[in-house]
Amino acid sequence: MQSAFEFRRSAATLAVLTALGLVACGGGSNSSESTVAASSSSSATSTSSSAAALVIPAEPVGLGVVETADAPSGVQAYIDTGASNQRNNPCQVTLDTNAGVRVLKGFLDLWTPSSLKVDAGVSLAAANGCAAVTASTWSGIPGDATDGSVVNAALHAANIDYVKAATKNRTSDQALAAYMDDRRSKGFSVSDGMGPLTSLWRTGTGQTSSIVAVDPNTAVTAVSDSGNNLGSTTSTLGSAVSFIDSGNITDGSGEPAKRFYKYARPWRWSTDVSVVPALESAKSTTPATDGGFPSGHTAEAWRDVLPMAYLFPQRYQELITRAMEMGESRILAGMHSPLDVMGGRVQATAVVAYGLTKTSMDKAATYKLVQDYLMAQTGTSDFNTLLEKARTPVTTDKSSVNYDRFSDYATNKSFFTQKLTYGLPKIAANDGKAATVPKGAEILLETRLPYLSAAQRRVVLKTTEIDSGYPLANDEEGWGRLNLFAAADGYGAFNGDVAVTMDASLGGFNAKDSWRNNIAGAGKLSKLGTGTLRLAGSNSYSGGTVISAGTLAADSASAFGKGEVFMKGGKLECAAPAALAITGAYTQTAGELALVMSGAAKGVLNISGTATLAGGSLVVSFSGYTPKAGDTLSVISAGKLAGTFSSVTVAGFSKITTTYTATGVQIRLDGV
């Protein structure tokens, strides 16, 4: 703490500097101007004749706490008990003893099976001190005396009605896609989520499929795929194939849950459900062992895709959208209902988190193998150039293996979000419960958000969850509430203060990333480290923003929410398509304010409070906008302005005049 003498001395020194014009305050309309010419850039400052000592505001204080997302207490964690997901052990046939069944217990809000055991078509002898299990008498035929009972009639009706409408309105293209997703190995099918890199991925892994397109509206014999699903362990990416397999099927079967919940397929519930004609011969003739919930195809797609997304996070959202599409294909085929495919997704998400946690493989080495291979094949030299290549369509030919159905972010997000719930009715008794994050779920974001701690990734999952009222969103751990698409876009809210430290030397998303969610909350954001973080959402967080190092970029007009902004180092880049709104005060003591103007009033600052300029630089550049000599740029408007920048640079103009007024900063472009 400063002594009284030291404070008076500092104030006196500041007053002297002010009198010498080395510290400038905003003047009125009669502010003086000076023009300075330089070889590549120039700066000009103005001072008021009534200059006073510049007062530096305090930094935003935020909430003063960090949000946490502890795993639910007193709950069996899937990643600790995933090995219990078995159907051949009499000790693992109930909700309490089988993790694969327990993770889907929210289904009991809709349906009560005829017995609460894994016993459909299964008889087990007594073993390990557990009693024998007698096969259920469930026939698999809805309405039969052996059937279970509907708990929520409105939800059940909506579930089956969705399939009726989907199959009634199904197009030929959708029928063909449903046929291909049914018949091909799931690992091969979902690998087209790699978009323009699909052929490279399939070559590297050695993936093959024997299934060819047919007329889906013609009855054919539904043959099985003689391809190799994930690929070959002896291929160039053989370690990746093994890795996906280890994170995929380790104790991962959906069969125990099918044989516990005993819920029929939609075409057995209603004759108005139309199965794709080419799949008629694939319909099971043994309904007592052919439950619909959860969907096995969907679960396997997610078990394939999530490890792929871990190894290649440049296509994280595109890949998980492809897995979601697999679920929709099962509905369009007439083979499954929305709740069936939602169940497959939920269970598989837990299975993969369990597999990635328990795998003995070297995750970092396998990740590097995939990155190095695809860089070599695409002629790229680093993560971010490969990212650009992975997201740039290479063909408009929809029949091409490298055609990218997932190139449009907004379309992906809308599709994915709707399929999380399928618009099914909420269950009132479950609505509005506090968010919960399963133990170990943060591993699913480990390579997508590598610069966040495990605890921070858990909070990301917490702040992007869906509400508990939706079907299957009421399991005790919270697997049914996870929204991985939104989580891949960073925080959904700052309910505590958030400090982000990015190390650009580590490359990848550590060096550069973008958060596209609309961030709410009352917490503060602090940007540390050398990397670049871009904020692109319509944000409303109110705890303030502090930039100490690296770059924090505003890609939307409300990127910095509704709080104060304090810049004491690093760079604040404004590339917003309009004026960046800062609803509180703006203070800059060091660092670089970089305004990327795309129009006369675009990429500039509009500050509702006081702008305090106590040093640092202003750098103005242009994107798609070409001002000319003689133009005057209004770069900052504020409720009140005090002080000046240490330097001002305008790209392409070596002669400029900078004017500081009581409410803003203007730059006249005098010459190139």
Residue 263 confidence (pLDDT) above 60: yes
Nearest alpha-carbon partner for 111 in 138, 133, 80, 89: 138
Evaluate whether residue 568 is within a structural domain: no
In percent, the amount of the chain with pLDDT more than 70 equals 92
For the chain, state the CA radius of gyration: 30
Residue 192 has what pLDDT?
Answer: 98
Residue 470 confidence (pLDDT) above 50: yes
Evaluate whether residue 212 is within a structural domain: yes
Asked if 606 and 582 count as a contact pair (C-beta separation under 8 A), the reply is: yes
pLDDT in tens, 113-136: 999 999 999 899 999 999 999 999
Question: Helix, strand, coil shares of the chain as percentages rounded to 5?
Answer: 35, 15, 50
Asked if 67 and 453 count as a contact pair (C-beta separation under 8 A), the reply is: no
Q: 10 Å Cβ neighbour count for 433?
A: 14
H helix intervals, 359-448: 363-378, 383-390, 409-421
CA–centroid distance for 43 within its chain:
42
Pair of tokens at residue 85: 């997901």
| Distance between CA atoms of residues 420 and 321, nearest Å | 11
Residue 30 confidence (pLDDT) above 60: no
**Which residues on neighbouring strands pair with residue 592, listed in sequence order?**
571, 617
Residue 286 has what pLDDT?
Answer: 95
| Distance between CA atoms of residues 165 and 418, nearest Å | 16
pLDDT in tens, 394-410: 999 999 999 999 999 99
Residue 493 gets which letter from DSSP? Answer: B
Domain CATH for 252: 1.20.144.10
Confidence band of 249 (pLDDT split at 50, 70, 90): low
Confidence band of 247 (pLDDT split at 50, 70, 90): low
Rounded to an integer, the average pLDDT of 558-562 is 98
Asked if 648 and 618 count as a contact pair (C-beta separation under 8 A), the reply is: yes
* Domain boundaries, position 358: 151-426
**Mode of pairing for the β-strands spanning 149-150 and 498-502:** unpaired
* HSE-CB of 390 using CA atoms within 13 angstroms: 23
Evaluate whether residue 374 is within a structural domain: yes
Residue 222 has what pLDDT?
Answer: 84
Looking at per-residue pLDDT, the higher value among 26 and 505 belongs to: 505
CA dihedral 485, 487, 489, 493 (to 10 degrees): 130
Judged by DSSP in three states, 566 sits in strand
Rounded to an integer, the average pLDDT of 463-480 is 96
**Which residues on neighbouring strands pair with residue 427, listed in sequence order?**
none
Evaluate whether residue 17 is within a structural domain: no
Rounded to an integer, the average pLDDT of 314-325 is 98
The phi, psi pair for 43, rounded to 5°, reads -135, 150
Residue 52 has what pLDDT?
Answer: 64
pLDDT in tens, 345-384: 999 999 999 999 999 999 999 999 999 999 999 999 999 9
**Which residues on neighbouring strands pair with residue 571, listed in sequence order?**
551, 592
Residue 228 has what pLDDT?
Answer: 93
Asked if 524 and 551 count as a contact pair (C-beta separation under 8 A), the reply is: no
Residue 24 confidence (pLDDT) above 90: no
Q: Number of helices and strands (H, E) in the chain?
A: 18, 20
Residue 35 confidence (pLDDT) above 90: no
Asked if 299 and 254 count as a contact pair (C-beta separation under 8 A), the reply is: yes
Rounded to an integer, the average pLDDT of 90-107 is 97
Residue 8 has what pLDDT?
Answer: 36
In percent, the amount of the chain with pLDDT more than 90 equals 89
| Distance between CA atoms of residues 119 and 134, nearest Å | 7
Residue the block writes with tokens 């009639």: 153
Confidence band of 248 (pLDDT split at 50, 70, 90): low
Nearest alpha-carbon partner for 450 in 387, 409, 500: 500
pLDDT in tens, 603-654: 999 999 999 999 999 999 999 999 999 999 999 999 999 999 999 999 999 9
Evaluate whether residue 67 is within a structural domain: no
Evaluate whether residue 106 is within a structural domain: no
| Distance between CA atoms of residues 443 and 245, nearest Å | 17
Tell me how many domains the chain contains: 1
Residue 53 has what pLDDT?
Answer: 86
Mean pLDDT check: name the lowest of 47-56, 118-127, 280-289, 321-330: 47-56
Q: 10 Å Cβ neighbour count for 94?
A: 14
Q: How far apart are the first and last CA of the chain?
A: 48
> What strands lie across the sheet with 571-574, from one edge to the other?
512-515, 532-535, 551-554, 571-574, 592-597, 617-622, 647-650
Residue 201 has what pLDDT?
Answer: 98
Evaluate whether residue 171 is within a structural domain: yes
Contact residues for 16 (Cβ-Cβ < 8 A; gap 6+): none
Evaluate whether residue 503 is within a structural domain: no
The phi, psi pair for 658, rounded to 5°, reads -105, 130
Confidence band of 250 (pLDDT split at 50, 70, 90): low
Buried b (16+ CB within 10 A) or exposed e, 229-249: bbbeeebbbbbbbbbbbbbbe
Asked if 59 and 499 count as a contact pair (C-beta separation under 8 A), the reply is: no
| Distance between CA atoms of residues 415 and 268, nearest Å | 27
Across the chain, mean pLDDT equals 92
Judged by DSSP in three states, 621 sits in strand
The phi, psi pair for 452, rounded to 5°, reads -95, 150
